[in-house]
Amino acid sequence: MRKVALLSLVAVFAACGSSSTNTGTGYVRVANLSPDLGALDFCVRPTGGTYGSPVMAGIGGGLGSAGLVAAGSVDEGSFAVSRYFSYTAGTYDIAVFQSGLLGASCANPLLTASSVSLGDGVYKLVAAVGKTGATGAPHALVTFTDERTVTSANVLIRFVNTGLATLDGTNFFPLPAIDLGVTTASTGYQAIFTNVAYPGKAAQTAAVDANGYATVPAASFSGAVDLTVCPTGFTPATVVPPYVCQSIPVPAGRITGGVVASAYVINVAGFPPGVPNSLLCGDNTVLPPIGGVVWPYSACTTNPGGT
């Protein structure tokens, strides 16, 4: 009888939300995918609570003090996206600010993503997109749910359209919807994603899951591989002027079996023709520690090609 009573008491405490209950851990990273924002830092708080200190500036050794720099070269590509930071599972507000702008702070943020849900074992990306004065593409924060696992025989890959376009170099607008695929010497072009509109991922289909990822055989990324971007409705074999498809080389050995990755179409392109750069990030890979110090950035590579 005493055992039954003790179990009942434990159940009562659990139902009342005892503070000792472990609710698990969620993860979030932040990206600067805007072509005209300065280096960004960010702060996190439980929804409606109080912001803590800037996350990047607080990294030991000053490794994060440069902030998140919009990708414009191979070197800078590694610093556009933070690594994941862990928080007790719950709902959070995430504020970003330009770290070099006088008066900018967590108390006076540039943008805020409110009520971002971080469930136990859930990974989220909060990305700053848009451009000052761009029609239909103001600065904004968009949130994506990331994935982390795939079998060693496959690759899990996602394409996200956060690119901008211009006709005259003065007026800017969202990059129109695009199709994306993989091109190799042996197989040619194989479409994976279609009609990916700004600012987002591909819609769920039989081949694409709810978070925008497609499972692709790892063999598709062996040898010389290009990510190929085309205006929606075209392939490299059917595209007609003034439209073009553009192939962006994948760095050798970067995409192998077991890798989960996202390619973000970024920066500004003349349209038509042309497409912007692609920022390729490992979602389950990180920059290796140097001297025992863990870098605060994700493992990303920028492929130049835009304007």
Q: Is 231 part of any domain?
A: yes
Give residue 191's pLDDT: 92
Q: Is 4 part of any domain?
A: no
Give residue 9's pLDDT: 29
Domain coverage including residue 136 = 22-303
Q: Is 14 part of any domain?
A: no
Q: Is 185 part of any domain?
A: yes
Give residue 302's pLDDT: 77
Query: pLDDT tens digits, residue range 36-75?
Result: 999 999 999 999 999 999 999 998 778 898 899 986 555 5
Residue 94 has pLDDT above 60, yes or no: yes
Q: Is 6 part of any domain?
A: no
Give residue 18's pLDDT: 38
pTM of the model: 0.88
Give residue 268's pLDDT: 77
CA distance 180 to 43: 34
- Are the CB atoms for 226 and 247 separated by under 8 Å? yes
Residue 294 has pLDDT above 50, yes or no: yes
Give residue 237's pLDDT: 95
Q: Is 32 part of any domain?
A: yes
Q: Which DSSP string do the residues of the chain spell out, in sequence order?
A: -HHHHHHHHHHHHHHTT-TT----EEEEEEEE--SS---EEEEEEETTS---S-TGGGSGGGTTTT-BPPP-SHHHHTTSBB--EEEESEEEEEEEEETTSTT-BTTB-SEEEEEEEE-TT-EEEEEEE--TT-TT--SEEEEEEE-----TTEEEEEEEE--EEESSSS-EEEPPPEEEEEEETTTEEEEEEEEE-TTEEPPP-SSB-TTSEEEEEGGGGSSSEEEEEEETT--TTT--TT---EEEEPPTTSS-TT-EEEEEEESEEESSS---EEEEEEEEEEPPPBTTBPPSBEEEEEE----
Query: pLDDT tens digits, residue range 240-280?
Result: 988 888 888 888 888 999 999 999 988 777 654 444 578 88
Least confident of 18-27, 56-65, 177-186, 291-300: 18-27
Give residue 276's pLDDT: 52
Give residue 11's pLDDT: 36
Number of domains in the chain: 1
Q: Is 288 part of any domain?
A: yes
Give percent of the chain with pLDDT exceeding 70: 86
Q: Is 175 part of any domain?
A: yes
Question: What value does the mean pLDDT of the chain take?
Answer: 86
